[in-house]
Amino acid sequence: MLQTYLNEHKERFLNELFDLLRIPSVSADSKFKDDTRRTAGFVREKLTAAGLDNAELHETEGHPVVYAEKIVDESLPTVLVYGHYDVQPADPYELWISPPFEPTIRNERIYARGACDDKGQFYMHVKALEAMLATDGLPCNVKVMIEGEEEIGSEHLGKFVAENREKLKADVILISDTSIIANDVPSIESGLRGLSYVEVEVTGPNRDLHSGVYGGAVHNPVNVLCRMIASLIDEKGHITIPGFYDRVVELTAEERAELAKAPFDEEEYQRDLNLKAVFGEEGYSTPERASIRPTLDVNGIWGGYTGEGAKTVLPGKAHAKISMRLVPDQHPDDITELFSKHFQAIAPPTVTVKVTPHHGGEPYVTPTDSVEFEAARRAFREAWGKEPVPTRGGGSIPIVALFERELGIKSILMGFGLDIDALHSPNESYGLFNFYKGIETIPYFYKHYAELKKAPVEA
Ligand code: BES
Ligand code: MN
Ligand code: MN
C-alpha cells in the first residue's frame, strides 16, 4: 500500500533530499557551474532509481535540463511535472545560522538553500512517483522536466521547449514551486505575476571627483539617480511611468470579494516582518497589493564609496537594479520599453542614462473551474481533510506562460511552501510536515485527475 511504503521509506527520502541540498547548484554564479551540472546528474540518477524511463540530460547553452518519463498506456492522460534544481545565491553567508549547503533540522524544519525553492518541492514528486510505481502503479503517463535556470529567468528553456514539442506533449503541467496560506489553511495559487527586470546606469563626470573641490558645481549622479527613482512611485503608491497601467486587467468586485475570503492577519504580517506599518497602492488590501497589482522595486543600488570609514568623493557613476512585477495583460517587453523611454525622459541634461534589460516573464492566470484545478482541489481535500482556498500568487515562474503559449498546456501550481520559508533569504527552510504532506498529496492528484478525465463530472 502506498501509505505504508511512504512511512517505511520516510527516512531515506529525507537523507536523499539532504544529499541533493548539499550540492550548491547556484545557477547565477559561474563558480558553481560544475556543481550545478553535478546536481542535474544526481536528479537524473534519482529519476531512474524511482522507476522512470529514458532519464537523460539535455544540453542547452546554459545549464542542462533533466528529463524522464513513464508511459504506462498511450490512451491515458499525461502529466508533465516541472521543477527547478537550481537555487539562488546564498549570500550573505554570515547571516546563516547553519551553513546554506549543510542541511540541518531545527524545530521540525529543514534549513538549507533550496530547501523549499525548489529542491525540497520537486523532490516530493520524485518520491511520490517512486512510491506510486512501487505500489499501485501510475493512473496516468508522466513526464518529468527539471531545469537548472529558473532562478536566472529560464533563458534557454524557451528554445528547449520549442525544439521538443513532441517529447513534452502532455495534458497538464504540475508544479510545486509556490506556497500555501498556512499548514491549517491549504490553498492553490491560480496565478503568478510576470516580471520585467532592468539595470540602470547614470553617468556624470568622467571620473570620481573630490567632493570638496567639485561638490556643488557638478551634478552628483547618485543624487540624480535617487531623485529619478523616487519619482517613479507617488505618495499614493502609484507607479508614474506613462502607460504602465494601460493593459492591467482590473478584477471585478466579485473576484476581489472571492479572494478576500482567504484568511489574512495584517498584524501578524507586520509582526513577522518587524514592520511599523505596511505601505502600498491606495485602494488595495495588502494581499491584493502583493498579488493582483503590479509593482516597481529597487533590488539594489550602488555607486561611490561604500567601504569602511568616510571617503569624500563625488562619484562618476550610479547604478541600480529595478524589478517590476506584472499582472495580466501587461507584457514584459512593453513594460521594459515604457520604463526605458520614461527613465531617459526624466533624466536631467547633466547626466547620461543607460538602461539594460535583464530577463523577464509573462504573468499567468489559470481558470479555477477546470478539470485539472478540480483534481488539485480534491487531492488537497483528501490528504489535508480541508477545502483548499484559491489564491493569486505574487511570485513569478516565467516558464508557465511559455508552456501555455508554446504547448497550449495549462499549469497547476500545487505548491506546499509557507511565507516563513524565507525563499531567497538567509536561513531558507522547509517544514518536514510540508515535505511529507506534499509527497502524500501528489498521488491523490494523479488519482483524481485520471478519474476526472475518464468521466468528467461537474466540479
Ligand atoms: N518559486 C519561486 C516563485 C514563487 C515563490 C512563486 C513563491 C510563488 C510563491 C521562483 O523560484 C522564483 O523565485 N522566481 C523568480 C523569477 C525570476 C528569477 C525570473 C522570482 O519570482 O523572483
Ligand atoms: Mn522556485
Ligand atoms: Mn526562486
DSSP string, 332-370: HHHHHHHHHHHHHHTS-TTSEEEEEEEEEE--EE--SSS
- Note the pLDDT of residue 224: 98
pLDDT in the model for residue 56:
98
Q: Is the pLDDT of residue 58 over 70?
A: yes
- Indicate if ligand 1 lies below 6 Å from the C-beta of 200: no
Quick check: is 396 in a domain? yes
* Residue closest to 40 by CA, chosen among 66, 19, 17: 66
Q: Note the helical H segments in 30-170.
A: 33-49, 119-134, 157-163, 165-168
Same domain, 349 and 405: no
**How many other C-beta atoms are found inside a 10 Å radius of the C-beta of residue 455?**
6
Looking at the fold, whether 50 and 164 belong to one and the same domain comes out as: yes
Note the ligand closest to the C-alpha atom of 359. Answer: 1
pLDDT at site 359: 85
Q: Specify whether 13 is located in the same domain as 24.
A: yes
Q: Yes or no: say if 244 and 335 are a contact pair by the CB < 8 Å rule.
A: yes
Same domain, 155 and 121: yes
Closest of 61, 36, 27, 53 to residue 144, by C-alpha: 53
* Residue 266 lies inside a defined structural domain of this protein: no
Q: For helices 10-22 and 432-454, give the axis angle rounded to 10 degrees.
A: 110
What is the rounded average pLDDT of the residues 392-396?
Answer: 95
Q: Is pLDDT at 30 greater than 70 in this prediction? A: yes
**C-alpha cell recorded at residue 31:** 563558480
Q: For the segment 91-111, what is each residue's pLDDT rounded down to a tens digit? A: 999 999 999 999 999 999 999
Contact 150, 60 (CB under 8 A): no
**With a 6 A CB cut-off, is 402 part of the ligand 1 pocket?**
no
Residues 337, 87: Cα–Cα separation, whole Å: 29
Q: What is the percent of the chain where pLDDT is above 70?
A: 99
CATH number, residue 298: 3.30.70.360
The ligand minimizing its distance to the Cα of 192 is 1
Q: Does residue 177 line the site of ligand 1, with CB under 6 A?
A: yes
Asked whether 396 lines ligand 1 (CB < 6 A), one says yes
Residue 91 sits in a domain whose CATH number is: 3.40.630.10
The mean pLDDT value for 406-434 works out to 97
Residue 160 is predicted with a pLDDT of 96
Looking at residue 364, its pLDDT comes to 96
Identify whether 178 is part of a domain: yes
Query: Are residues 219 and 367 located together in one domain of the fold?
Result: no
Ligand 3 centroid–CA 250 distance in Å is 27
- Which of 82, 121, 151, 430 is the pocket-test mutation for ligand 1 (most atoms within 8 Å of CB)? 151
Same domain? For 307 and 384 the reply is no
The amino acid sitting at 165 is: R
* 186-231 residue pLDDT tens: 999 999 999 999 999 999 999 999 999 999 999 999 999 999 999 9
Q: Whose CA is nearest to atom 7 of ligand 1?
A: 178
Question: What pLDDT does residue 193 have?
Answer: 98
Distance 411 CA to ligand 2 centre (A): 14
The ligand whose atoms approach the alpha carbon of 118 most closely is 2
**Does 337 lie in the same domain as 205?**
yes
Query: Which of 361, 389, 414 is the endpoint of a domain?
Result: 361
pLDDT at 457 over 80: no
Mean of pLDDT over the chain: 97
Please report which helix (H) or strand (E) contains residue 145, including its range. Answer: strand 141-147
How many residues make up the chain in this entry? 459
Look at residue 459 and tell me whether its pLDDT is greater than 80: no
Is residue 262 domain-resident?
Answer: no
Between the alpha carbon of residue 283 and those of residues 4, 325, 448, the distances in Å are 51, 18, 40
Report the pLDDT averaged over residues 60-79: 97
pTM: 0.94
Both 333 and 383 in a single domain?
no
- For residue 207, being part of any structural domain is answered with yes
pLDDT tens readout for residues 258-281: 999 999 999 999 999 999 999 999
* Amino acid 456: pLDDT: 60
Per-residue pLDDT band at 438 (split at 50, 70, 90) = very high
User: How do residues 341-386 score in pLDDT, each as one tens digit?
Assistant: 999 999 999 999 999 999 899 999 999 999 999 999 999 999 999 9
**CA pair distance 135, 132, nearest whole angstrom:** 5
* Nearest Cα residue to atom 13 of ligand 1: 151
Mean pLDDT, to the nearest integer, of 388-395?
A: 95
Is the residue at 286 inside a domain? no
Q: How confident is the model at residue 425 (pLDDT cuts 50, 70, 90)?
A: very high
Q: How confident is the model at residue 54 (pLDDT cuts 50, 70, 90)?
A: very high
Beta strand 194-203 pairing with 352-361: antiparallel
Q: What percent of the chain has pLDDT over 90?
A: 98
Domain stops at, among 309, 331, 361 = 361
* Residue whose CA is at the smallest distance from ligand 1 atom 15: 396
Is residue 289 one of the residues assigned to a domain? Answer: no
CA 84 to ligand 1 center in whole angstroms: 11
Say yes or no: 323 and 238 in one domain: yes
pLDDT category, 455, cuts 50, 70, 90?
A: confident
C-alpha cell read off for 281: 497602492
Residue 458 has pLDDT above 80, yes or no: no
Closest ligand 1 atom to residue 396 Cα is: 21
Judge if the beta carbon of residue 359 lies within 6 A of ligand 1. Answer: yes
**Do 209 and 134 share a domain, yes or no?**
no
Is the shortest distance between the CB of 395 and ligand 1 below 6 Å? yes
Give residue 106's pLDDT.
98
86 lines ligand 1 (CB under 6 A): no
Quick one: 56 and 163 in the same domain?
yes
pLDDT in tens, 151-187: 998 989 999 999 999 999 999 999 999 999 999 999 9
Atom of ligand 1 nearest to the CA of 360: 19
Total domains present in the chain: 2
Tell me which residue range forms the domain holding 303: 194-248+294-361
CA of 455 to the centre of ligand 3 (A): 37
- Please say which residue of 361, 384, 400 terminates a domain: 361
Whether residue 334 is found in the same domain as residue 410: no
What is the C-alpha end-to-end distance of the chain, expressed in Å? 28
Ligand number nearest CA of 195 is 1
Which distant-in-sequence residues (6+ apart) come within 8 Å of 184 by Cβ?
386
Task: Evaluate whether residue 120 is within a structural domain.
Answer: yes
